[in-house]
Amino acid sequence: MPTNAPRASFLAAVLLCAARAGASEFDFLPKEPGAAVAVVEKANAATQHGLSSKAAAVYNASLQRFVDALLSQKVFKPLRGARAAGYFRADDSRGPAGEPVPGFGFLRYYPFHKDRKSGKTVSWQHTNDEVSVRFNNPYGDLPVFTNTGKVKAFFAPEPTGVLGGYPTFKTDQDNEIIVLSRGGKLPWLAFTQEDYIRYWIEHWEKQAAESPMDPLAPEIVKAHKAALARMSPEERKLQARHGGQSDDFREPTLSRPDSKEGRLLVKADPAWFDQKLPRESVQLATLRFWYFDAIDLKKPGPAEDGRVSALRAYDTLHQSDWKAIAESLLGPAE
């Protein structure tokens, strides 16, 4: 089932308010110099993904080059107002058969403040301002529409531009994303209107089979099949926009493709990777910049209480040489 976005947004707002209330008790130090440290954990490449010791070394070396290139950027020379720490490694479980080895990691920004009792500079631990990275994963950290069973679909981020030759996006929460791939190719395709309706037909058919006394499920299945039958071949291929409203609850919850209502959906491109390359090759990295304190993307600045951890995550995206970082991981641009 799709995620409950309103509830998730409400919980996020509650956590944000609680964090802000706690943070107001601290004297933050936005100019204090800090270090950035990230480690590459090497065991998983061999133990979880069956790579030979030589292939695992190649994979881990790619992650290490990425870390070195990232931490060499000017925002970390030195990092101001925070320290950063994280790790990167191959995933804890195998990905789809035949695909490159997936990996993940993060770099989190811990803002400095002065301890009111000791007068010492310490870092505030209750932060979620970070950059999360997914390697060889076509979905990256895209918001989930459905990720159960055979169907996997995600909410498409909004394109915002290009940095170093690589596309950037923002999510509905104003987090930002950059996709590093060979040739700059995006790893996802449109989740079509036909995909969308067939997904719901399968869902409601299962509901009808599991709950024979449910009088609504068969009616919803019938209405969805009729809606699909009315569509032309061209309409079926259009990208689905979830969130439409209808006077008839049995109808698909699709917005008009040309409207701004609802949210566009994507699915993985089966051809996102080069099959000629070995499994240990890193062919894709998706970085999502999580700003726990909302940032005005048109005029970014410190939080109201002086914290700059979210701002430093923003600076990492907007002040770094992504061409150099991508080449360290993927090799020279094609």
Residue with tokens 């996709």: 179
Q: Is 178 inside a domain boundary?
A: yes
pTM score: 0.87
> Is there a single domain that holds both residue 199 and residue 183?
no
> Is there a single domain that holds both residue 174 and residue 208?
no
> Is there a single domain that holds both residue 238 and residue 318?
no
> Is there a single domain that holds both residue 202 and residue 183?
no
- Domain residues for the domain of 67 are 5-144+155-187+272-330
d(CA 297, CA 143): 19
Q: Specify the pLDDT at position 305.
A: 87
Q: Specify the pLDDT at position 21.
A: 47
Model confidence at 5, pLDDT cuts 50, 70, 90, reads very low
Q: Specify the pLDDT at position 24.
A: 58
> Is there a single domain that holds both residue 93 and residue 241?
no
d(CA 116, CA 51): 51
**Which contacts qualify for 216-221: CB closer than 8 Å, 24 or more apart?**
216/250, 219/250, 220/249, 220/250
What number is the average pLDDT over the span 121-145?
Answer: 93
d(CA 206, CA 202): 6
Q: Specify the pLDDT at position 3.
A: 47
Q: Can you say whether residue 182 is alpha, beta or left, with left for phi > 0 and alpha for psi between -120 and 50 degrees?
A: beta
d(CA 119, CA 49): 48
> Is there a single domain that holds both residue 165 and residue 50?
yes
> Is there a single domain that holds both residue 263 and residue 278?
no
> Is there a single domain that holds both residue 223 and residue 138?
no
Q: Is 149 inside a domain boundary?
A: no
d(CA 175, CA 169): 8
Q: Is 150 inside a domain boundary?
A: no
**pLDDT digit string (tens) for 242-271?**
987 777 889 999 998 888 888 999 999 999
Q: Is the dihedral of CA 196, 201, 142, 166 positive or negative?
A: negative
Residue 73 pLDDT exceeds 60 = yes
Model confidence at 304, pLDDT cuts 50, 70, 90, reads confident
> Is there a single domain that holds both residue 53 and residue 94?
yes
Q: Specify the pLDDT at position 295.
A: 82
User: What's the structural domain count of the chain?
Assistant: 2
Q: What is the mean pLDDT of the chain?
A: 90
Collapse the DSSP code of 49 into the 3-class scheme (helix H, G, I; strand E, B; otherwise coil) and give the result. coil
What number is the average pLDDT over the span 170-193?
Answer: 93
> Is there a single domain that holds both residue 74 and residue 100?
yes
Q: What percent of the chain is predicted at pLDDT more than 70?
A: 92
Domain boundary at 227, 242, 268, which? 268
